[in-house]
Amino acid sequence: MRRPPRFVIASASISDGHARVAGAELHHMRDVMRLEAGAEVALLDEANVAYAGRIERFAADHALIALQASEPQVMVEDALTLAVGLIKGPRMDFLVEKAAELGATALLPLLGQRSVVHAPGPARIERWRRLATAAAKQSLGPRQMIIRPPLTVAGLVQDVAKETLAVVCSPAGGALGPLLRDARPSALILVCGPEGGFAPEEVALMRAAGFHEASLGRNRLRTETAALAALSIAAGARDELTGRG
């Protein structure tokens, strides 16, 4: 059965069993998808709470959605964070979008010693958030990917929770898939270096913090290729372990 199209809302727009969809989401619903009253829709708010509803009517500046009588569902997924070295312009935008489509729950930009890109400004981070939101709508994934504030490797090793399996993509390690199937982590952070790779001091910090090293194969990969390959392997291993594959 085809799933209904998804739209992003603010929780504040929900009242008395109805949700109001306005702005760009209204334009997409009414003018791009040309949905009409009676059509079923899916809604997702900023807290990753999902709602099912039906378009009740259109007004000039909003659509009124009648929500189903059942309780809204809070979408909870195993944490899957991608910590990745910053790369240039459109390639980073591409990475953000595809990481969200592949099911990353958070993206953490890394400021490495060998990074050739400076820390992103507020406008760029806001662009990544818009891309992540659009990807959540398109892919119908269970939640929106969060864009975390940039960190150095030193900040990263202090930020990782004890119950999280931290894995650095490195040719020095064994294959990533078997590592994940053996560890069966409830929370995972995948770390991919910048274009220049990690400095020896950064590698030493991560090893001392208990980060595992895992290989993605023989070929030398660009940062965005390595990150997306790691996410794909992680998503496949997770689905296999949970019986969704």
Q: What is the pLDDT of residues 60-92, one digit of tens each?
A: 999 999 998 666 666 555 589 999 999 888 999
pTM of this structure: 0.73
Query: Residue 244: is its pLDDT beyond 60?
Result: no
For 105-134, give the DSSP string: SEEEEE--TT-SSPPPPHHHHHHHHHHHHH
Can you read off the two tokens belonging to residue 182?
Answer: 């053996």
The span from the CA of 187 to the CA of 167, in Å, is 11
- Return the closest-CA partner of residue 40 out of 26, 57, 21, 54: 54
Percentage of residues in the chain having pLDDT higher than 70: 92
Query: Residue 8: is its pLDDT beyond 90?
Result: no
The span from the CA of 73 to the CA of 142, in Å, is 10
Contacts 24+ apart (CB under 8 A), 155-162: 156/83, 156/108, 156/110, 156/191, 156/206, 157/205, 157/206, 157/208, 157/209, 157/211, 160/189, 160/209, 161/187
Please state the length of the chain.
245
Count the alpha carbons within 13 Å of 234 in the hemisphere toward its beta carbon: 30
Can you read off the two tokens belonging to residue 14?
Answer: 């929900």
| Mean pLDDT across the chain | 87
The span from the CA of 139 to the CA of 102, in Å, is 8
Lowest mean pLDDT among 67-76, 78-87, 171-180, 229-238: 67-76
Under 8 Å between Cβ of 184 and 234:
no
Q: What is the model's pLDDT at position 70?
A: 62
DSSP 143: S
140 φ, ψ to 5°?
60, 30
The span from the CA of 38 to the CA of 57, in Å, is 8
Q: What is the model's pLDDT at position 79?
A: 86
Q: Residue range 27-42: average pLDDT?
A: 90
Under 8 Å between Cβ of 174 and 215:
yes
| 124-148 pLDDT, tens digit each | 998 998 898 888 878 777 678 889 9
Can you read off the two tokens belonging to residue 217?
Answer: 């194969």
| CA angle (188, 228, 241) in 5-degree steps | 45
- Return the closest-CA partner of residue 55 out of 71, 40, 70, 42: 40
Task: Give the domains, in start order, of the chain with CATH numbers.
Answer: 6-74 (2.40.240.20), 79-242 (3.40.1280.10)
